[in-house]
Amino acid sequence: MTLDTTRPLLGADDPAPVTVLNPDSNHPVLLVCEHAGRAVPQALNGLGMKADDRDSHVGWDIGAEAVTRLMAETLNAPAVLQSYSRLVIDCNRPPEAPDAIPESNHGVSVPGNRALDNAARVARVREIFEPFQEKVAEYLRQPSRRMVLAIHSFTPTLGKTSRPWEIGFLFRHETHASTHLARLVQEARPELTIGMNEPYQIDDESDWFVPQHGEASGLPHSLIEIRNDQIRDSQGRAAWAETLSTAINRYLKEV
């Protein structure tokens, strides 16, 4: 497959890499959604993939953008959304990580990511990754900010392993925001199975949001993972947005 690697990567008809909701809001909570989008720059020719594969959970976090938008609307909070597929570059990975620009993901081949030269990688970092991270950092610096939350989704199974949690709160050194929010969600919906540091654990080599935004800012933070079968339809997305928004409002009153 031949890719156009001339600069710039993004053309006039490509979407901007970042969308900010409620940009003038002084709400204390910043919402972030790194895997909101599934766009692919036109120069990358669909990454050589079938559209169905790009549109599956392989290419984005199903339902996460919609939940983030509903939460931003309910709270009138600022939200920073990433427009491009995680297969172009994963904005929740260090850019040098092996899976930041994956050649395959969950067994699905990504031909457009094979044998990339340094210039092609740098273009994705410069035009997609860096503008997104800079916008998140800009909103974290606002004096009104008291907490930052990233919204993600995960699959009900990984391989043959079932994932029983409807929601997980991921953290590392700063534990209070995650444990407090988890308690509030559990009180509101006692039927839920809530995972702490599930469905995976945070580390410097494969994660960006928690180390580079949450911990670096010194603010309470959590990476929230919602199982995607819970948010595939509008009713489920609305229910989870309401549950989380209510928990956030209670958190802000109690802390």
Q: Are 218 and 146 in contact (CB under 8 A)?
A: no
pLDDT at 3 over 80: no
- Does residue 144 belong to any structural domain of this protein? yes
Domain around 231: 18-254
pTM greater than 0.75 (yes/no): yes
Q: Would 2 be classed as within a structural domain?
A: no
Written as one string, the DSSP assignment of 62-79 is TTHHHHHHHHHHHHT--E
d(CA 55, CA 60): 7
Question: Tens of pLDDT along 44-85?
Answer: 999 999 999 999 999 999 999 999 999 999 999 999 999 999
Asked if residue 92 is part of any domain, the answer here is: yes
Given this model, what pLDDT does residue 8 score?
85
State the Cα–Cα distance between residues 55 and 108, nearest whole angstrom: 12
Q: Is residue 6 part of a domain?
A: no
- Assigned domain for 40 exists: yes
**Domain tally for the chain?**
1
In this prediction, residue 173 carries a pLDDT of 97
Would residue 178 count as lying in a domain?
Answer: yes
Q: What CATH number did the domain enclosing 220 receive?
A: 3.40.630.40
| Sign of the CA dihedral running 97, 56, 151, 34 | positive
Give domain status of residue 90, yes or no.
yes
Asked if residue 5 is part of any domain, the answer here is no
Encode pLDDT of 188-238 as tens digits.
Answer: 999 999 999 999 999 999 999 999 999 999 999 999 999 999 999 999 999
